[in-house]
Amino acid sequence: MIGEIGQLALCLALALSLVMAGAGLIGARGVAANARALASGATMGFAVFVTLAFGALMVAFVTSDFSIMDVANNSHTMKPLIYKITGVWANHEGSMLLWVLVLALYSAAIAFARRGSERLTSAALGVQGLLAAAFLLFILFTSNPFLRLDPPPFEGAGLNPLLQDPGLAFHPPMLYAGYVGLSAAFAYAAAALITGEADSQWARAARPFMLMAWIALTLGITLGSWWAYYDLGWGGFWFWDPVENASLMPWLVATALLHSALATERTGAFRTWTLLLAIAGFSLSLIGTFLVRSGVLTSVHAFANDPERGKFILAMLGAAIGGALALFAWRAPKLEGGSAFFMASRETMLLLNNLLLFGAVSAVFLGTLFPLFQEAITGAKISVGAPYFAITFAPIFVVLLLLVPFGPRLGWKRGDLKEAARALAPVAGIALLFGVLVLAIATPHALAAGGSFALAAWLIVSSAADLRLRVKSRSLSPSAWASAFAHAGLGITLMGIAGTSLWRVEAQDVLAPGGTLPVAGYSLRLDNVVLVQGKNYRAEQALVSVLADGHTIAMLRPEKRFFPAEGQAISETSIRTTGFSDLYVALGDQRDDKWIIRAYVNPLAPFIWFGGGFMALGGLTSLTGRLRRRAVAGALAEMPAQ
């Protein structure tokens, strides 16, 4: 019965999404108040029925209802409850339903917030309705999570052991909140083009949704990097995997969009460019969806390998991107140009920021998709890895980071570049000194290390200096805190990337109990290997004593787990962290009465994720400050006149 409830809820949600689309677009006309009210009501109903469908699927997973094919293919009675729940979105069908659920929640937020004019809001809901209808049709016709099995199997097939991890509870939902959050910015941009209200009003209305999407993408990518680090057993945090890149590209565009929209909102600059970035951000999210679900990639991240599904997504992608670009090409030439500004101004710095981010996105886009085109056309497979991105992406990003501190120091429309450079001179001196100290003290010596840490200090110290200046001038605001947190977070992450990339130490040996493995000042002693029984797996667990100066300072317990239901084995790493460095140990295969032990010492690795958290905190500070100002303005507007 639960499957039929979910199926009916999806059908009703599809009907309401069509009403939402039609009424919303009709309501974009100036004299269609009834249509606007209908669009708002349909949006709330759509959100309710999608939530009901998602809840029905979750109940089916929790109760192990194997008469539903999706549950039978991706669950097992022996799975812990947390993985039954996360298993809902750990497969293609469930993850698509999660996508539509997030879309429904953003649509309801647009209807509830009613930011911008009534026509703008209505048109945005209409665009969201079109997107919702397309994804619901895709789910119902190619990816239905409520298909029945008759007769149902006695037991389910289980879930990929790599996905049976707490990180899966947070990483995909966060990424989806980011990917789909960009649909709200896309919808507002399309609405601005439809209604002709492409002034600062649409950017102001869409900016909270841009911030929510950017925060979610930042946290999602950070959590994904952390999951890959501790769960995959290879000791790294980023592999330039095409699906990793598919999440990075929307983040880069969303970063450019936030900065460009700020200029559009404040001074009216970059109006058409901001519209184009909003379209590009969601377009890249759709491209990422295509890569993961079309079968063109084989990856731990990939959900599906059905070419028919890929064709459907490709058609949706073409319609959404092509339609939006056609609308832009039709309307953009008729829009008023942005306001003028002097060369020495914050707008100029934001323009350079956008151009460099666009260059970075182009480098990642080419490195990600060119091998796919090459294989499709010639059949030859080529590999594009870290060396390509080090040559193309890294230099662009270095220049970008060098320019970042100048933006907050320059005024809108007109600033004093000499004064900004004079104010930042002490910061530059501190950064250079820090780089020289790193170069002199750290081993092995490397110019890359000195340069990376000087650049990181440049970002962090300039952020602190900007806050100090604003405190003295009594102009400290949430936006100043947000900028400082985000820019300092970039610097902290850069320190982590540089430290673990340049000074990582690796050791591997085949040890019998009592054997030792030296690595970076530690001595790892394999005391024993014991068998442990989990709820749905059995494991060989190594007891590894960590010795420093002859004293035991920790006990690590890496495991080799075997999951009978799935017939797969994975490594479960064990990590000792000081907050400044990680000692990372993985258990390999058994050879007679010996075991392979791999160990890594990753200096400053935790800084990668600390920095990601700081960046997200910056976005959250900006969002809460903006919402607080709106609430105060609304309360003042409702006060009776004295």
pLDDT averaged over every residue in the chain:
91
If one compares 289 and 260, the residue with the highest pLDDT of the two is 260
Mean pLDDT of 325-343: 84
Please provide residue 628's backbone torsions phi and psi, each rounded to the nearest 5 degrees.
-65, -40
Asked which of 26-30, 375-379, 588-592, 603-607 is least confident by mean pLDDT, the reply is 375-379
Q: What is the mean pLDDT of residues 545-567?
A: 94
DSSP classification of residue 614 = H
Q: C-alpha distances in angstroms, 425 versus 406, 483, 564?
A: 11, 20, 62
Is residue 70's pLDDT more than 70? yes
Amino acid (one-letter) located at 584: Y
**Per-residue pLDDT at 296 exceeds 80:** no
SS3 state at 170 = coil
Give the pLDDT band (50/70/90) at residue 47.
very high
> How does strand 568-572 pair with strand 559-563?
antiparallel
Rounded distance, CA 298 to CA 305, Å?
8
Output the pLDDT for position 297.
59
CA atoms 18, 24, 25, 26: torsion sign = positive
Residue 340 main-chain phi, psi, to 5 deg: -80, 155
Residue 600 in this model has a pLDDT that exceeds 70: yes
Strands lying side by side in the sheet with 594-603: 505-511, 594-603, 581-591, 574-577
State the pLDDT confidence band at 307, using cuts at 50, 70 and 90. low
C-alpha to C-alpha distances, 174 to 50, 85, 140, 319, nearest whole angstrom: 18, 16, 24, 26
**Domain boundaries for CATH 1.20.120 within the chain:** 1-164
How buried is 72 (Cβ within 10 angstroms: 0-12 exposed, 13-18 middle, 19+ buried)? Answer: buried
- Position 234 pLDDT exceeds 90: no
Q: pLDDT at position 306, please?
A: 64
From-to residues of CATH 2.60.98 in the chain: 505-605
Instruction: Give the residue with greater pLDDT, 275 vs 377.
Output: 275
Average pLDDT over residues 117-132: 95
The CA–CA distances, whole Å, from 569 to 80, 225, 595, 618 equal 17, 22, 15, 40
Does residue 639 have a pLDDT over 70?
no
Residue 642 has pLDDT above 70, yes or no: no
Has residue 168 got a pLDDT over 80?
no
- Assess contact for 243 and 302: CB atoms under 8 A: yes
DSSP labels, 186-221: HHHHHHHHHHS--SHHHHHHHHHHHHHHHHHHHHHH
Dihedral sign for Cα 499, 503, 508, 514, please.
negative
Distance of alpha carbon 334 from alpha carbon 10, whole angstroms: 40
Confidence band (pLDDT; 50, 70, 90) for 309? confident
Cβ–Cβ under 8 Å, residues 531 and 539: yes
pLDDT tens digits for range 133-152: 999 999 999 999 999 998 99
- DSSP codes, 510-564: EE-TT-EEEETTEEEEEEEEEEEE-SS-EEEEEEEEEEETTEEEEEE--EEEEET
Report the C-alpha gap between 319 and 327 in whole angstroms. 12
Name the nearest CA neighbour of 565 among 173, 87, 78, 139: 78
Tell me what pLDDT residue 299 has.
Answer: 52
With b for 16 or more beta-carbon neighbours within 10 A and e for fewer, the 615-628 pattern comes to bbbbbbbbbebbee
Average pLDDT for 38-55: 97
595, containing H or E segment: strand 594-603
Other CB atoms within a 10 A radius of the CB of residue 258 amount to 22
Decide: pTM greater than 0.85. yes
| Domain boundaries 1-164, CATH class | mainly alpha
Terminal Cα-to-Cα distance of the chain (whole angstroms): 60
For 146, 204, 264, 298, 570, the CA distances from 163, given in Å and listed in that order, are: 22, 39, 42, 16, 11
Nearest to 176 by CA among 75, 61, 261, 286: 286
Q: Which own/partner pairs from 60-65 qualify as long-range (CB within 8 Å, at least 24 positions apart)? A: 60/2, 60/3, 60/6, 61/85, 61/87, 61/88, 61/94, 63/2, 64/156, 65/2, 65/3, 65/152
Q: What CATH number is given for 505-605 in this structure?
A: 2.60.98
Q: What CA–CA distance (Å, rounded) separates 134 from 141?
A: 11
